[in-house]
Amino acid sequence: MFQQPLPVEYTRLDPEQTASRIAQARQTLGDRVLILGHHYQRDEIIRWADYRGDSFKLSQLAASHPDRPYIVFCGVHFMAESADVLTAEEQIVILPNLSAGCSMADMANIRQVETAWCEITQTIEEDSLIPITYVNSAANLKAFVGRHRGPCCTSSNARKVLEWALSRGERVLFFPDQHLGRNTAVGMGFDPDRDMALWDPRERHGGVTPQKLADSKFILWKGHCSVHGRFTVEQIEKARRDHPDIRVIVHPECTLDVVRAADCNGSTEYIIQTIEQSEPGSKWAVGTEINLVNRLQHEHPDKLVFCLDPVICPCSTMYRIHPHYLLWVLENLAEGRVVNQIRVKSDIREWARVSLERMLSIR
Ligand code: SF4
């Protein structure tokens, strides 16, 4: 999907004009609209959100508001798709900028996954293989997983989902984030060299030998998050040198060596809760997206909270949700026009919902 250029009038608005018109459109729409803001959005967007959260929490919030005909999802494409899958048929989900994708989600597409499945199951029994997709993936991959007895997972429940899968099959095909898969499996006691294979969709047969496939419990897709991939052990060592009493907390989309060097790791919600609940005066070096880290520091002035990478750029695709785009979709809605609707095709929607509900059933 391509984003049409914004009308020039919008691009010329200064921040105050933009904010005042967003407030006006918001008031006109009243309870007809629900605005959701992902934690990684900039403050100029978050200030308008009815709720902020991680991708799955926001989709569930959308589903729990069937009275709101319009859901404006300030996040990236796969999140708006999940919201559409989980909300009622008649609800309309809108992504303010259609070019707000996710570079990790784009590292696995349905053609590649179907090819991988076909090649892997030539070597190992299909019945012994359970596919799992991280929620950071396109709806058609969630549907693929749903059709093949698999669930989705989030960074909060990845361990439970992997344990569930291994109680039903001998192996897991995990996509698109190799690091979440590897970190979770290592946390469960598996060996990254002995028990895991890395499937590179750009190589013939994924670059994995039949013997390695047969020997592996986890076949990890060669995808990663370009934001969390920037954090390094050297940054952690520097933070510890500069602040001997620092604690380091990172997201499991970081590499295994970074996760091992940190004091703790967990989902975005885990990072937020851990810092919120820590004692006044505590110091945190954080390995996750900069907008969230800066907001945590701002909201907890009694603590020191800083990003491990001092020159890190924000998630560039999240950043595409500029206030001008939010204003544009809201003013169109206020005038009765829907722009930038995200609509998942009905057969994909049905199977994607199966994989999401299967995940929710895992306790
Ligand atoms: S932070 Fe990483 S995984 Fe999240 S939306 Fe940005 S690129 Fe995708």
Ligand 1 centroid to residue 244 C-alpha, Å: 30
317, 319, 321, best to mutate for ligand 1 pocket (most atoms within 8 Å of CB): 317
Kindly give the parts of the chain with pLDDT less than 70: 312-313
Ligand 1 centroid to residue 227 C-alpha, Å: 6
Please tell me the CATH superfamily of domain 8-100+317-344, with its number: NadA-like (3.40.50.10800)
Entry pTM: 0.96
Ligand 1 centroid to residue 103 C-alpha, Å: 7
Residue 313: what pLDDT? 67
Ligand 1 centroid to residue 233 C-alpha, Å: 20
82, 225, 228, best to mutate for ligand 1 pocket (most atoms within 8 Å of CB): 225
| Nearest ligand 1 atom to alpha carbon 228 | 2
| Nearest ligand 1 atom to alpha carbon 289 | 1
**Ligand 1 neighbours (beta carbon < 6 A):** 40, 76, 102-104, 136, 225-227, 289, 315, 317-318
Inter-helix orientation angle 346-361/77-86, to 10°: 80
Architecture (CATH level 2) of domain 228-307: 3-Layer(aba) Sandwich (3.40)
CA-nearest residue for atom 6, ligand 1, is 315
Query: Range(s) for CATH 3.40.50.10800 in the chain?
Result: 8-100+317-344, 228-307
Ligand 1 centroid to residue 105 C-alpha, Å: 8
55, 318, 320, best to mutate for ligand 1 pocket (most atoms within 8 Å of CB): 318
| Nearest ligand 1 atom to alpha carbon 177 | 3
76, 78, 97, 288, best to mutate for ligand 1 pocket (most atoms within 8 Å of CB): 76
Ligand 1 centroid to residue 102 C-alpha, Å: 5
| CATH code of the region 105-225 | 3.40.50
User: For 336, left (φ over 0), alpha (ψ -120 to 50), or beta?
Assistant: left
